[in-house]
Amino acid sequence: MAIRTYQGTKPTLGDRAFVDTSAVVIGDVEIGEDSSVWPLTVIRGDMHRIRIGKRTSVQDGSVLHITHAGPFNPDGFPLIIGDEVTIAHKVMLHGCTLGSRILVGMGSTVMDGAVVEDDVIIGAGSLVPPGKVLESGYLYVGSPVKQARPLTDKERNFFSYTAGNYVKLKDQHIAEGYDQ
């Protein structure tokens, strides 16, 4: 794995965190315990901070970055991700905030300053525009996203299930010596 220090700040990994050998993690990044980062993912905290909670999976080919502070955005936007978040394949997260128990569908993009509250599903291929707030308890789909309907009990139960499934999967990869 490429864990790279940038300007004196090295990424930190929580207990039992997994980062695939083909992933790149740079700078001011914290990855919570039992979280997993899968092949060909880039997590670049080079101009602001990135925080990833516990039991969160960042799947293959995803790109996670920040919004730097500058004349058009004096404070910038860090990238903040809560617990038990499933970030599916080829997702782009840029300077946004995601709560806990969220599924971000494959190929989705969440832009600068967007806020996704807890307990949300973002359908595959969706675009969350800059500054948009997604209210807790709903499915959102489209480009740009629109609130589709309330989540079912089955969907709400899926968040902890899929988080646990990825904890088991990363534990199997670790047990098989993925980094050898």
Average pLDDT over residues 109-113: 98
Lowest mean pLDDT among 32-46, 76-90, 111-125, 166-180: 166-180
CATH of the domain spanning 2-175:
2.160.10.10
> Using CA atoms, how far apart are residues 180 and 174, in angstroms rounded to an integer?
10
The β-bridge partners of 87 are 58, 104
- pLDDT exceeds cutoff 60 at 180: no
How high is the pLDDT of residue 1?
59
pLDDT in tens, 59-97: 999 999 999 999 999 999 999 999 999 999 999 999 999
For 153-162, the pLDDT digits (tens) are 999 999 999 9
For residue 3, give the 3-state DSSP assignment: strand
Q: What is the pLDDT of residue 56?
A: 98
Q: Residues 6 or more apart from 163 whose CB is under 8 A from it? A: 55, 56, 57, 83, 84, 85, 86
So what's the pLDDT on residue 177?
Answer: 87
Looking at residues 87-116, what average pLDDT do you find?
Answer: 98
Q: Is the pTM of this model over 0.85?
A: yes
Tens of pLDDT, residue by residue over 5-36, are 999 999 999 999 999 999 999 999 999 999 99
pLDDT over 80 at 41, yes or no: yes
Question: 150 - beta bridge partners?
Answer: 138
179 pLDDT tier (thresholds 50, 70, 90): low
Find, among 57, 25, 10, the residue nearest to 38 by Cα: 57
Q: What is the dihedral of CA 142, 150, 52, 176, to 10 degrees?
A: -90
| 118: pLDDT strictly greater than 80 | yes
Listed in order, strand segments (DSSP E) in 23-177 are: 24-31, 36-37, 42-52, 57-58, 63-65, 79-81, 85-87, 92-94, 97-98, 102-104, 109-110, 115-116, 120-122, 127-128, 133-134, 138-142, 145-150
With tokens 């864990």, the residue in question is 3
161 versus 178: which is more confidently predicted? 161
The pLDDT of residue 58 is 98
